[in-house]
Amino acid sequence: MSASLLLLLVLPFAGAIAAGLLPTYARNAASWLAGAVALGCLAVVWGTFPTVLSGSTVRYEAEWMPSVGLSFVLRMDGLAWLFSGLVTGIGALVVLYARYYMSDEDPVPRFFAFLLAFMGSMTGVVISGNLIQIAFFWELTSLFSFLLIGYWHQSAAARDGARIALTVTATGGLALFAGILVLGHIAGSYDLDAVLAAGERIRSHPLHLPALILILLGALTKSAQFPFHFWLPHAMAAPTPVSAYLHSATLVKAGVFLLARLWPVFAGTDGWFWIVGTAGLVTLVLGAYIAIFQHDLKGLLAYSTISHLGLITLLLGLGTELGLVAAVFHMMNHATFKASLFMAAGIVDHETGTRDIRRLSGLSRSMPFTSRLAMVAAAAMAGVPLLNGFLSKEMFFAEALSAPAPVPLLLDVLPLVAVIASAFSVTYSLRFIHGAFFGPDPVDLPRQPHEPPAWMRFPVEILVLTCVLVGVVPGATVGPFLHTAVQSVLGAATPEYSLAVWHGFNLPLLMSGIALVGGILLYMALQPHLWKGIDGPPLLRAFEGRRMFERTMVFLSWRLARSAERVFGTRRLQPQLRLILCVTLLAGVSAVLLRGAGPGNLTPSHVDPVLACAWAVGGACALGAAWKAKYHRLAALLLVGGAGLVTCLTFIWFSAPDLALTQLLVEVVTTVLLLLGLRWLPKRFQLPGRAGPEVIPRTRRLADLSIAVAAGLGMAALAFGVMTRMPPDLLARHFIERAYTEGGGTNVVNVILVDFRGFDTLGEITVLAAVALTVYALLRRFRPAADSVDVPEQQTAQSAYDRERPDRQEGDTVADWLLVPSVIARLLFPIIALVALYLLVRGHDLPGGGFAAGLTASIGLLLQYMTSGTQITEARVQVHPLRWMGLGLLLGAGTGLGAWLVARPFMTTYFGYAELPLVGKVPVASALLFDIGVFMLVVGATVLMLIALAHQSLRGHRAAPRRPQMREPDLAEAPAVGRARED
């Protein structure tokens, strides 16, 4: 039984996916599928009825996040049952209706996919037994209603309507989520049953009001209550089946459903009464008033929906048990008559081509059946006796007369307002019927009106029949459903109420009579005004929610954002960096100020003059690089190399041979890389006679200098502080102890890299691969700046010398100049490769490893490129850096995955020693394989980057426009170029 709830939730989504996969114009298949899913869901809902009727709750629970006490709960009680029935039942009718409504040109499967997904989300809201889940499905309904409203996305009105609906309801949904978090915090659990049981505690909690307001923001936006009502009329741009579904039984009912669901928790407090009651009251009257003056059939129904939702909200806001009964009853009644009215309006639209009341008239002759059905449904909406709308309206009147209110005055006002709003609803119902179906024969309609296909009318017939049946014999038809629904909310507090049609002559009946007569009189009095065909209601025309919404959106998303960007943002890098550095400095200084800084617990070791001298040079190099980087790039580059070498020396001095090795090798490749890049940068000369920078730049430089000095001093102090302290225990103890016994290597650093923290290393080589690929991709489309692609002067002269002699080819002199280095490099290549291999193999035990070996190998290749030139090298050595990288990554990840084969966690390593002839004992750990992966990737990535950059010089030569003095034969072309420019 409980698993059927899961089925009920999953089935619509599965159906949605299946429908989405159908071919675009498979209208019938999609309809059958959607209909079957909806009926299947209805059957599941029906199957749970016996349990629900007996007063118990069907519950499905699965662990979700047990660590924070969250479970995935589905629960079906009376109220949830009632709503699931409405959602799936009316859903099935809407599917049938939509089959005939949607045209062949529309991609119908997509429509049904959205519709089914929406049905699933709505079911999720209704049967969730966990507040977080409710918020989740709530947002899903917003999303899918957005897709449904904007289904005809070629129309601007549909897009706007969808956007407004999404903005309003999803914003409300966020507020709801926040409110639910607060509520769960107060109640100590997100489980709905626990929250409902904790009502007393929640109401007395200081955070009660914030939680209430946030949750109400969600519910009232969803149910289109004043002042958030404006999104609903714009959502009428949706296909009519969507309107019939969303605005009768589902989307807008989610808000009032939630109010009813949480009614036991919140109802009865002053905050609830004032907020919910006022919103409902204002919406009830306002919606009905505006509805009278709508010329669009669907617009009229939209405002009438707003008004009826206001009525339900008001009933819930009163906080009385009987009010809740009336509210739940009216939710059902409204769903039936409103869905049928929307469908009827859709039929009129479908068969005549217009929904404008001013153009429609006399349709009762051409569509007799539809018009009769619409009349009955509209009468139900107006509250005519013997129809279901009458019963709930009577209940409302009775409540309006008897509800206790915090302010006595309200008691006098409420019945009056109720009668007025009711009269309004009679007026707009009359307008709907009289305007469309009575009067002279219509003229000049886009289509010749006639009855729709019988199956298109069928859903309307079912719904209208329900209206009549409920209206005539309420006790026998909805009695049990209503009772279980109310009982599931109120429990033992369920009041006595009577569903009879006739209660004798009493005050509510009198009020109904007054409303009916008043409504008819008002309609007659308004005839002259309505015939003028003015848009919008009198008095309220200026207050258009849509315009205010748009203005707010423009303000928030454009003006506010722009001014915030103007005030706080900059597109310039330097101020941003300055800000980051200042904040960092401030953070460091404040930490010292707040926590204090004392001397360390270690005494500094004595100063070695050799290293001190080395750092005197290194420091001078760094300062020199900083000084020269603007005008003397090559010098700066060399100076940076100097600082790097001293750093390297420091590493080896202080027992880090691996670091020193890697640093040295990286130093080489970095320098080559930057050298390759130098020629693409603009020439910059320090003009000799020029005075220093002006005042403002000078102060800026002074500020930068002080930031730099402060950062340097801060880092020095921090480093000294750290170095003179010894923490009580180090993580490294663990690594040193086990490097050999468990990792099988004596080089602890390497064992950490390839074994203990192998996963990190895998991540790092992946980063390396990504960077190399990015560099490669960027350089493929590289367009160098025009002035930086000249061939260097020396090379130009050498090439010119070659050209002058017939026995020489261009480039020969360059090759000659580098003959000795290139021969040496060629001879060195196998030796360097051997060294790389040696470093790789011994890495696990002695300084070396994949990183160092990879860099060594790429330096070997690099030397070939530098001394022999790109073409010659590539003619002899085929390098496929991309393959190397791919293999390296595969090997690294594969070694890790290999551990799974022997049922060990990812990246578990195996080790042993193998006896090789001549070589001796060699460590063979699976970590070595991983290290080979690192090696291959480093080779591939480094070579890829450097070669990609080196190839630019080939391209540069090709792309470079030759200088005018060098291309004597091309002089004739110059005028042609000039002409081309004039064109």
* Residues in 758-787 at the binding interface with other proteins, rule: CB under 8 A: 760-761, 764, 767-768, 771-772, 774-775, 778-779, 782-786
Site string for other proteins, 849-888 (x = CB under 8 A): --x---x---------------------------------
Task: By CB under 8 A, name the one of 680, 829, 838, 910 that touches other proteins.
Answer: 680
Site for other proteins in 544-573 (CB under 8 A): 571-573
Question: Minimum Å distance from CB 832 to other proteins?
Answer: 18
Q: Which of 476, 525, 592, 736 binds other proteins (CB under 8 A)?
A: 736
Give 39 or 707: the residue with its C-beta nearer to other proteins: 707
741: contact with other proteins by CB under 8 A: yes
Exactly one of 98, 357, 622, 836 binds other proteins (CB under 8 A); which one?
Answer: 622
* Binding window for other proteins (CB under 8 A); candidates: 136-144, 187-195, 211-219, 576-584: 576-584
Cβ neighbour number for residue 678 with a 10 Å cutoff: 11
**Among residues 454, 507, 510, 722, which is the contact residue for other proteins, using CB under 8 A?**
722
Residue 391 to residues 81, 306, 486, 503, 643, Cα–Cα distance (Å): 22, 20, 16, 11, 91
Residues 596 to 615 in contact with other proteins, rule: CB under 8 A: 602, 604-608, 611-612, 615
Q: How far is CA 7 from the centre of its chain?
A: 28
Give the range of 95-103, 485-493, 546-554, 722-730 binding other proteins by CB under 8 A: 722-730
Query: Which of 237, 753, 839, 928: binder of other proteins (CB under 8 A)?
Result: 753
757 counts as binding other proteins under rule CB under 8 A: yes
Q: How far is the CB of 680 from other proteins (least distance, A)?
A: 5
C-beta contacts of 755-761 below 8 A and 24+ residues apart = 755/909, 755/925, 755/927, 758/896, 758/907, 758/909, 758/927, 758/930, 759/896, 759/906, 759/907, 761/892, 761/930, 761/934
Residue 845 contacts other proteins per CB under 8 A: yes
Whether the Cβ atoms of residue 357 and residue 296 lie closer than 8 Å to each other: yes
Measured at the CA of 500, the angle between CA 499 and CA 505, to 5 degrees, comes to 125
Are 313 and 280 in contact, with CB atoms under 8 Å apart? yes
Phi-psi region of 386 (alpha: psi -120 to 50; beta: other; left: phi over 0): left
CA distance 556 to 700: 35
- Residue 60 backbone dihedrals phi, psi, to 5 degrees: -120, 130
- Name which of 413 and 786 has its Cβ closer to other proteins: 786
Buried b (16+ CB within 10 A) or exposed e, 435-453: bbbeeeebeebeeebeebe
From 677, 830, 894, 964, residue interacting with other proteins (rule: CB under 8 A):
677
Tokens 């050999």 — which residue? 740
Nearer to other proteins, 564 or 626 (CB): 626
Dist CA 165 CA 229 (whole Å)? 10
Shortest distance in whole angstroms from residue 973 CB to other proteins: 25
Please name every residue paired with 61 in a beta bridge, in sequence order, or none if there are none.
73
Question: What are the helix (H) ranges across 654-730?
Answer: 657-678, 695-723
- Any contact of residue 682 with other proteins (CB under 8 A)? yes
Determine, following the binding rule CB under 8 A, whether residue 950 of this chain makes contact with other proteins: no
Q: Quote the CA–CA distance of 962 and 983 in Å, as a whole number.
A: 24
Site map (CB under 8 A) of other proteins, residues 689-708, x = contact: ---------------xx-xx
**Using rule CB under 8 A, residue 797 touches other proteins:** no
Residue with tokens 């489980």: 191
Find residue 356's DSSP bridge partners: 296
Site string for other proteins, 919-948 (x = CB under 8 A): -------------------x--xx--x---
Query: Which residue, chain included where needed, has tokens 């959205």?
Result: 114
Helix ranges (DSSP H) in 781-818: 793-804, 812-817
Q: How many residues bind other proteins (CB under 8 A)?
A: 117
Give the nearer residue to other proteins in terms of CB position, either 157 or 674: 674
Nearer to other proteins, 241 or 644 (CB): 644
Q: Is residue 847 a contact point for other proteins (CB under 8 A)? A: yes
- Residues in 625-664 that interact with other proteins by CB under 8 A: 625-626, 629-630, 633, 636-637, 640, 643-644, 646-647, 650-651, 653-659, 662-663
Examine residue 414 and tell whether it contacts other proteins (CB under 8 A). Answer: no
Residue (310 or 644) nearer to other proteins, CB? 644
Nearer to other proteins, 514 or 718 (CB): 718
Is cis: bond before 227, omega within 30 of 0? Answer: yes
Nearest distance, CB of residue 121 and other proteins, angstroms? 44
**Token pair for 684:** 């910059």
Q: In the range 486-505, which residues lie near other proteins by CB under 8 A?
A: none
User: Is 723 an interacting residue with respect to other proteins (CB under 8 A)?
Assistant: yes
Q: What residues contact 204, with CB distance under 8 A and at least 6 apart?
A: none
Mapped onto helix, strand or coil, the DSSP state of residue 412 is helix
At closest approach, how far in Å is the CB of 659 from other proteins? 6
| Closest to other proteins by CB, 683 or 979 | 683
Query: In sequence order, what DSSP letters do the residues of 673-689 get, joined into one string?
Result: HHHHHHTTSPP----TT
Q: How far is the CB of 749 from other proteins (least distance, A)?
A: 5
Instruction: From 260, 238, 282, 246, select the one nearest 169 (Cα to Cα).
Output: 246
Q: Does 98 bind other proteins (CB under 8 A)?
A: no
